[in-house]
Amino acid sequence: MTADAAVQLAELERKVEELGAGKQNKLAMVVFSGDLDKLLAAMIIATGAAAMGMKVVQFFTFWGTAALRKPEANVNGKDFMSKMFGWMLPKGRNQVKLSKMNMGGMGTAMMKGLMKKKNAPSLDQLFEIAAQLGVEIKVCEMSMDLMGFKHEEIIDYPNLEYVGVATFLAHAKESSNQLFI
Amino acid sequence: MSEHTVSKVLDLKGLPCPMPVVKISQEINSVGVGEVIEVHTTDPGSLSDFPAWAKTTGNEVLESEQGNGVIKIFVKRLK
């Protein structure tokens, strides 16, 4: 068998495998957590999957939505509870803390320092790479409503969309991989 | 070792996961089908990540070699 034929055969086998499963080469991920460590994992897996040629769709819900807030946004017209939530929850990805060993912010600061020293990509960089690689971000509309977040305080990101659970399930159903982080 | 005709050298030294696979996925189309990119990386995870990436994307890792703390990986674009 020539090298060309071998390549074609491998490609065909891969396609048949995909057809058999009825699934696309795609990752549907729920980003539920609003912790620095878990968000890092979510973004590294998302960008890695996109680099592997997978279509990637991330669904930000509950605490995860706070990581999508703009740091500077000051939104008017919120009721008392929304103001309280807005005040207590992190204003964007650079205010999130480690889920363990935060130690009043010291642990998080140390981790960020360590990441810089080791040249590990920050959340800012990972979001930028995700945008470049076409990772799609969907935001749970109900979480937004619960926390009292408004669309205008959410980051500018290409193709960001506000959706409900059915959209996630429709994507998950046709995806070869699903994750909940 | 490494008697490959290299079309491009990609210096990824100092970049940890997931940057090496992100970079190769962005750069692979800058060479023609059948051409080879020589990757220099200091991320030990790349030794297993590049073959995994190649298998999934339908490309080929011809050879990996280590020395002086730098890992060289020869990636051939197959499609």
Does B58 contact A11 at a Cβ distance shorter than 8 Å?
yes
Give the CATH number, domain containing residue A146.
3.40.1260.10
Quick: pLDDT tens for B56-77. Answer: 899 999 999 998 889 999 999 9
Does B79 contact A120 at a Cβ distance shorter than 8 Å?
no
Asked whether residue A2 is domain-assigned, the answer is no
Asked whether residue A76 is domain-assigned, the answer is yes
Q: Which residue of A has its CA nearest to B79?
A: A7
Res A42: pLDDT: 98
Asked whether residue A29 is domain-assigned, the answer is yes
Quick: pLDDT tens for A57-70. Answer: 999 999 999 999 99
Does A119 contact B15 at a Cβ distance shorter than 8 Å?
yes
Q: Band of the pLDDT at A2, cuts 50, 70, 90?
A: confident
- Could you report the predicted ipTM of this complex, rounded to two decimals? 0.75
CA atoms of A67 and A31, how far apart (whole Å): 10
Res A23: pLDDT: 84
Of B19, B53, B79, the CB nearest to A52: B53
Asked whether residue A87 is domain-assigned, the answer is yes
Residue A135 has pLDDT above 70, yes or no: yes
Residue A17 has pLDDT above 80, yes or no: no
Q: Which homologous superfamily does the CATH classification assign to the domain defined by B6-76?
A: TusA-like domain (3.30.110.40)
Asked whether residue A162 is domain-assigned, the answer is yes
Pick from A39, A47, A123: nearest CA to B18: A47
- Cβ of residue A114 closer than 8 Å to a chain B Cβ: no
Residue type, A147: M
- Domain residues for the domain of A46 are 24-180
Pick from A22, A27, A17: nearest CA to A52: A27
Task: Pick the residue of A4, A115, A119 with the most B CBs within 10 A to test the interface with B by mutation.
Answer: A119
Contacts of A100 by beta carbon, 8 Å cutoff, 6+ apart: A37, A107
Backbone angles phi, psi at A39, to 5 degrees: -65, -40
Asked whether residue A165 is domain-assigned, the answer is yes
- Please state the rounded mean pLDDT for residues B11-37: 94
Total structural domains within chain A: 1
Asked whether residue A55 is domain-assigned, the answer is yes
